[in-house]
Amino acid sequence: MYRNFKMVPRLVFGRGAFNQLGKILEDRRGPQGSAMIFLVDDVFKTGALAGRIPAGPRDLTLWVNVDDEPKTAYVDHLTELARQNAERTGGAPAGVVGIGGGSTLDLAKAVSLMLTNRGSSADYQGWDLIQNPAVYHVGVPTLSGTGAEVSRTTVLTGPEKKLGINSDFTVFDQLVLDPELIADVPATQRFYTGMDCYIHCVESLAGNFCNPFSRACAEKALDLCKSVFLDEPADRDADLMMASFLGGLSIAWSQVGICHALSYGLSFELGLHHGIGNCVVFDYLEAYYPEGVADFRRMQAKHGVELPRRLTADLADARIERMVDVALVLEPLWEHALGSGWQSVMTREKIRELYLRM
């Protein structure tokens, strides 16, 4: 059986595309002029973008803070605020719009799902547990690399695990990809999130679930990443945005691998963000991805990025064990990277050993 692949049905791409957001949303509001819920990274609260958000009087703008990566409790809180706005304005929201990096896009996806599904978002961490379609939701990335704009997951940290809400309903209904929005990302953040895309491609290509579709996307995205971070092409923002999109498509069709499995453990236990966590881990995976790690180090050197070291040296044993537990939950990633007998290759002891080197 081949997978029946759900994709983002509509997207607008190009410099200044953000100016079209108002019109796109207008078409969804219906005759009652139903409200939109904007979830916007609070880094933009004081900048020029704040004044360009096409919010009307019934709409709600929630400035979201992503100092910590999205937690299920935060999603539940934001959903409650959106529900209260619906009561105040006398009608269900017409849509949810996420404007920000991967964290904000994931929050927007999660809120759009939780507006139509009962209980806590923690109840839905896993694969295909969502029962009802989400509210119409739009993604507007301001940072490129995660591929969250195209994926069928929203990665959340819950009380027990860091695991996405994976479902066809999670996928955005509309994307607005405007390279101008990523122009002012601080250089180090841009590197970390850009390397997330690069690692998606390396991992997608070097695994058992790779196929002509995922390979085509990953190869192009990998070339774009290397060009952006080694050659500095003229339109590097557009190139990076395109790489993120294609890298995301590639892993949606294939899978990520060892770096992501280990990085989830680091992030769950140490609160390390996804991009930087991946960079930390990837540097220790030469044995598995030799060419990928060599090019990664060239890009790192060119951008003068120093990675944190000795993160696990003084950690209590129980915490290392928890990290191993989180990594081991991600079975499809291990199977993609190492095959169906992966448990005999990647033992608890081996994972522990890798963590202790970091």
Q: Which residues bind Zn ion (CB under 5 A)?
A: 196
Contact 307, 283 (CB under 8 A): yes
Token digits of residue 93: 């929201």
* Residue 139: contacted member of ligand NAD, Zn ion, none (CB under 5 to 8 Å, by partner type): none
CA distances from 323 to 98, 268, 316 (A): 30, 7, 11
Choose the contact partner of 185 out of ligand NAD, Zn ion, none; CB within 5 to 8 A by kind: ligand NAD
d(CA 243, CA 265): 26
Torsion-angle region of residue 148: left (phi > 0), alpha (psi -120 to 50) or beta? Answer: alpha
Binding partner of 277, given Zn ion, ligand NAD, none, CB within 5-8 angstroms per partner class: none
- Name the nearest CA neighbour of 146 among 59, 256, 14, 254: 256
The total number of residues shown for the chain amounts to 358
Q: Which is nearer to ligand NAD, 35 or 218 (CB)?
A: 218
Interface with ligand NAD includes 269 (CB under 6 A)? no
Nearest approach, Cβ of 215 to ligand NAD (angstroms)?
A: 19
Helix, strand, or coil here: 162?
Answer: strand
Choose one: 10-18, 24-32, 94-102, 303-311; the region binding ligand NAD (CB under 6 A): 94-102
Residue 292 contact, options ligand NAD, Zn ion, none, Cβ 5-8 Å cut-off depending on partner type:
none
Q: Which residues pair with 97 in a beta bridge?
A: 38, 138
Q: Of these, 79, 274, 293, 355, which contacts ligand NAD (CB under 6 A)? A: 274
148 near ligand NAD (CB under 6 A): yes
Cβ-contact 94, 36 below 8 angstroms? yes
68/80 with CB nearer ligand NAD: 68
Residue that the structure tokens 């390390």 belong to:
272
Restricting to residues 96-125, which ones interact with ligand NAD according to CB under 6 A? 100-104, 106
Q: Interface residues for ligand NAD in 213-232 (CB under 6 A)?
A: none
Main-chain dihedrals φ then ψ at residue 226, nearest 5 degrees: -65, -40
Q: Which residues bind ligand NAD (CB under 6 A)?
A: 41, 43, 66, 69-70, 100-104, 106, 142-143, 145-148, 151, 153-155, 181-182, 184-185, 189, 193, 196, 273-275
